[in-house]
Amino acid sequence: MKVSKEKAAENRAAIVKAAGRLFRERGFDKVGVAEITKAAGLTHGGFYGHFASKDALAAEACEAAFAESLNRLPADEVSPDGALDAFLTRYLSELHRDRPDGGCPMSIFAMEVGRLDPAVQERFGVGVERFLEVVAQRLPDGEADETGRRARAIAIVSALVGGMALARATARAEPELSAEILAALRDQLGALGSGAG
């Protein structure tokens, strides 16, 4: 039976969403095509009608994971704490730490992407660039110049990614240390973002 274009697009989107969740939860190499299609509610046989390879899916899932994360950012704009502080509080939360399957792809994929297909690396790079732009836009207006704003944004994003990786790595064995890492980064990055760092 022929599937309509709308249903085919719906199935493709379901595969991408399931892949993004599973890749963030367990990593690219630890998830197979059969598991992804099953999580999407589809059969394994239809996968190659949508994607040429698992790498092609990984590239699209990476891009979709960044879009999902970036789509949450407008809510920060209306926070009484300010957009940057609201973003830092949400990013460096125990909820984000404990739910990598729905979280920011940078802290999950950063260590793996360098070993993956160039298409995945390219999509990851584009996503990181978009995050840097968003963080730079949230910095106080007093930053001297565009180069200084970008350097400050790079420092903040790099600390977020590394800090979240450390918080996740210590969460089970050293939960107090994990919470301390998140709290210290919220304080320190907030100061860096305000120009006090």
Q: Name the residue with tokens 């990013």.
A: 91
Residue 196 has pLDDT above 50, yes or no: no
* Tally of residues, the chain: 197
Compute CA 19 distance to the chain's CA centroid, rounded to the nearest angstrom. Answer: 13
Spatial contact of 63 and 23, defined as CB atoms under 8 Å apart: no
- Spell out the domains of the chain, with CATH numbers in brackets: 54-194 (1.10.357.10)
State the CB neighbour count (10 A cutoff) for residue 65: 28
Lookup: tokens for 63: 């891009």
The pTM score is 0.86
pLDDT at position 79:
74
**Distance, CA of 58 to CA of 40 (rounded, Å):** 15
Segment 127-144, tens digit of pLDDT: 999 999 999 988 877 656
Per residue in 92-123, pLDDT (tens digit) is 999 999 999 988 999 999 989 999 999 999 99
Q: Does residue 24 register a pLDDT over 60?
A: yes
Supply the mean pLDDT for the chain: 89
**Rounded alpha-carbon distances, angstroms, from residue 83 to 9, 78, 128:** 34, 7, 18
